[in-house]
Structure 1
C-alpha cells in the first residue's frame, strides 16, 4: 500500500469524532468580524468629525475596534456561560483591519 494513502486515511480521523469546540469559520466569527468593522468605522468617523486629521482618526478607529474586541474576550474569561477564544480575537482583528483598509482609502 502506498505510504501517502495510508497517511491520508489516518489523518482524516473518525467520522463520529466530535467537532472542535471553536471552529475557525462559523456564524459567530462572522458576527465578530462585522461588529469590529462597524465599531472601527464609527470610531474613526467620530474622530474625524471631532476634528482629527485622517491618520489620527484612523488610529483612533483601529485602536477602539481592537480594544472592544479584546475587552469582550477578556470579559468572557470570567463568565461561566461564555468561553474566551483566540479565534474570536483573530476575526475581531480581521474586521478592524478591513475597516482600517477601507477608511485609509477615503479622504
Structure 2
C-alpha cells in the first residue's frame, strides 16, 4: 500500500455482503448473499476507565485505560426477502398450512 497522501489509496467501497448465521450449537449455517447493500459501516464503541491523581491540590487525570471494546456494524439493504426479514427479526422461516373449513 502506498504511503499517504496518494491517490492509489482511494477505495470505491463496493462489494457483496454475505452473512453466515450461527446456530445455538455454534455451527455456521453457510454464507448467504444479502442482496444490494447501498450503505455499510463499521463502528467501535470504547468504554474507558479514568484514574485521577490525588497527590496535588488539583485533581489531575494521570491514566486512562480501555476497559471494554464493543464492535458493531450497520447496513442498509434494498432487497426485502423472507430470509432478510427473518435475520432482521431474529426469526426462523417456517411454512404454515391451514386446513380449509366451512364457516356457519
Query: TM-score range, shorter-chain basis?
Result: under 0.3
Scaled by the length of structure 2, the TM-score of the pair is 0.19
Answer 1 or 2: higher relative contact order, Cα 8 Å, separation at least 6.
Answer: 1
Higher strand fraction (1 or 2): 2
- Larger gyration radius, structure 1 or structure 2: 2
Higher helix fraction (1 or 2): 1
Scaled by the length of structure 1, the TM-score of the pair is 0.19
